[in-house]
Amino acid sequence: MTDLFAPADRFEPLALDRADVSLLRRFDLGLPDTELLAELVADTPWRAERIVVFGREVAQPRLSCWYGDADAHYAYSGLQLAPLAWTARLADLRRRVEAATGEAYNSVLLNYYRDHRDGMGYHSDDEPELGPAPAIASLSLGERRVFSMKPKGATGPAPVKIPLDSGSLLLMRGPTQRHWLHGLAKLARPCGPRLNLTFRRILRPSARNRAPA
Ligand SMILES: O=C(O)CCC(=O)C(=O)O
Ligand SMILES: [Fe+2]
């Protein structure tokens, strides 16, 4: 007999060239997704980071907050981020994400897309502190939004669109950041809030330029 629920319980690999991306549609959060969303929205000290775009300082179109081990310092979009200490909830989610993905993480970036006007431009998470082949586990909560991926330097094919549902866990690793960009488009129509948590491992300076094992 076919087990209808099996696909939700394992990572489904996406067929992308020179990338290692897989999606676990229903990740065990330890509590209902709606409760976790409400808790994190309420309890997180959200920041509206300012960045320089074409020489002009503007607010990022989303709120964010950075947690991690005390030594997990990170520069992101030109911002120097010192992590807040893990909360009990985020430490529990980290353990669950580590068990599901078989990778270790020492930090998590929370992004809060308040409505359709919030998004994230195309980028790759290829900062040197992540090393040459980082594993990044991306947990989504709330509104379903489309995560787009396109190969670096490509003018040709349309982006790959991956709708991310509440409670899904997307895992990017290996050469993905080296060869692909990803982003989250703003929408024309109103939608509800979405949270995204990207678990990452910041390498110590001595380990940063080493080739992957
Ligand atoms: O919100 C998302 O799904 C993507 C977040 C992301 O790409 C990032 O934080 O670097
Ligand atoms: Fe990213």
Q: Which domains does the chain have, with CATH numbers?
A: 10-204 (2.60.120.590)
Q: Which amino acid is at 137?
A: A
Mean pLDDT, range 161-172, rounded to an integer: 98
Q: Cα of 92 to ligand 2 centre, how many Å?
A: 22
| Residue whose CA is at the smallest distance from ligand 1 atom 10 | 125
Q: Give the span between the Cα atoms of 43 and 40, in whole angstroms.
A: 5
- Taken in order 122, 211, 129, 14, the sign of the CA dihedral is positive
Is residue 125 lining ligand 1, measured as CB closer than 6 Å?
Answer: yes
Average pLDDT, the chain: 90
Mean pLDDT, range 171-176, rounded to an integer: 97
- The answer on pLDDT for 212 being more than 50 is no
Is residue 169 lining ligand 1, measured as CB closer than 6 Å?
Answer: no
In this predicted structure, what is the pLDDT of residue 213?
45
- The answer on pLDDT for 1 being more than 50 is no
- The answer on pLDDT for 49 being more than 60 is yes
Mean pLDDT, range 63-80, rounded to an integer: 82
Q: 88-101 vs 33-43: helix axis angle to the nearest 10?
A: 130
In this predicted structure, what is the pLDDT of residue 178?
96
Q: Cα of 111 to ligand 1 centre, how many Å?
A: 7
Is residue 198 lining ligand 1, measured as CB closer than 6 Å?
Answer: yes
| Side-chain half-sphere CA neighbours of 164 within 13 A | 28
| Residue whose CA is at the smallest distance from ligand 1 atom 7 | 183
In this predicted structure, what is the pLDDT of residue 53?
83
In this predicted structure, what is the pLDDT of residue 205?
64
Bridge pairing between strands 63-68 and 56-59: unpaired
